[in-house]
Amino acid sequence: MQVAFEQHYVRTSDQPTSWQYTLMSDRESSYDWSRDGEPVTDAIANAAEIPQEAAEDIQQILEAEHDDFDSAAMGEETEFSGDTHYEEKGTSDRVWQEEWRNFESSLKTEARFFSRTAARHLASIFDGIDDLRTRRGQPLVVDAGPGTGFPSVYRARVFQSDDKLEEALCRPDTHLGSPPASVAAAGRMNARGISVFYGANDPKVAIAEVRPPVGSQVAVARFEIIKPLRLLDLTALTAVSVTGSIFDSDHAGRMERAMFLRTLSARITRPVMPDDEHFEYLATQAVADFLATESSVPIDGIIFPSVQAAGDVLNAVLFHKAARVEALALPKGSEIKARTGHVEEEGWEEDYEVIEEVPPAAETKHKPGWPDFAALAAMPWGPHDPDWRDASLRVVLDSVTVHRVRRVEFKTDEFIVTRRRWEKRKPDF
């Protein structure tokens, strides 16, 4: 009991403050001082969830242990005496915040790769995170894929030439999915050369996230998640809650960790200026790498709030291991053509269309007893395709749309700049 009170409770003052004394002495004030906190026996009963009689017995034992003859002679109150009041200490995540700042600094200035300090810090944050819940009982690690509340994602790509757009419309599985490692640019959740799949739960959010210039065209497609995945939901971190008894020696540490986690989502998703991305993304890239490869909790990606769009909209990143898109099933010898419009008497008419020309069914029919060489060639193995990952995504062909960007609107906070002029004063000496 004594140790629990030292960790979670503080004895309140038995005297008013000077300001409170002033209010009490003011004849026109109706202020009536009362001591903060709750009586010691009530605090013991509530903390231990025991009857009042048992709490009184414990209080008397603790009072006897802390009895001090000199203090009693001077009329000073001692710990657990009958008139004492206690209140719960406020939980602070100061240590966690300081460790996060050291973690960011270490990545930027000391060791970017193979940092044991960074690995230990991330393990302390994320180990066992799938056991945590929000105040409403929602998990922090959610299921995605067939039969879940997160069955698909939208992905957008910007095009500034019709030729490249037509190529992408022909094969959206390869051109609208995650990029090859050789051209994968660095992002908030991935380092350069590490191919991941960025998507959103809304097509307009997907467009906003790629920040297309005016005059460009944006192709958007919906991708079904075709196998069960587990995603860390950063939006749930803001409401993470910890329950337990103050008599558990680890309870205070868990509460401090939960308080830090409630601020972590804002840290990871805060807007970063383009000139600062190289350094400011290091911490979030390290978090993603740790969760993808080193975490004790199997995680395939992260759900996080959009910084480009307002409202109940979400972004998602699927780590490399869960970012492969299933190849389109095309008969051998198929030819695909796409067009973005055609000429009418009035001029050019925008019209997006894809035509698949496939061989006659008789030519592609597999003969019994013979190997299906076309099917073998399409299998994701062999020297032509060293990627052994299972497909996690499938493009929905009839979901593909093209958006031509006509204008971009911004929502801003406007501030007036005041300007003043002062006449210089001559020194007095």
**According to the model, what pLDDT value does residue 216 have?**
94
Integer Cα distance of 209 and 204 in angstroms: 9
Q: How far apart are CA 2 and CA 8, in angstroms?
A: 10
Residue segments in the chain with a per-residue pLDDT below the cut of 70? 1-7, 69-73, 75, 90-91, 111-112, 114, 244-252, 310-311, 362-386, 429
Q: What pLDDT score does 21 carry?
A: 77
The pLDDT value recorded for residue 354 is 92
Phi and psi, residue 230, nearest 5° = -120, 125
pLDDT for res 365: 58
Q: Does the pTM of the predicted model rise above 0.85? A: no
Helix 116-126 to helix 282-293 angle (10° resolution) is 70
In whole angstroms, give the CA distance from residue 264 to residue 287: 11
pLDDT at residue 363, as a whole number: 59
* Sequence-separated (6 or more) residues with CB below 8 Å from residue 125: 96, 257, 260, 261, 264
pLDDT in tens, 237-265: 888 877 766 555 666 677 777 777 888 88
- Where are the domains positioned within the chain? 2-88, 94-322
With left for phi above 0 and alpha for psi between -120 and 50, is residue 80 left, alpha or beta?
left
- The helix (run of H) or strand (run of E) holding residue 355 is strand 347-357
Rounded to whole angstroms, the Cα distance separating 397 from 394 reads 9
Cα–Cα distance measured from residue 114 to residue 278, given in angstroms and rounded to the nearest whole number: 19
pLDDT of residue 230: 95
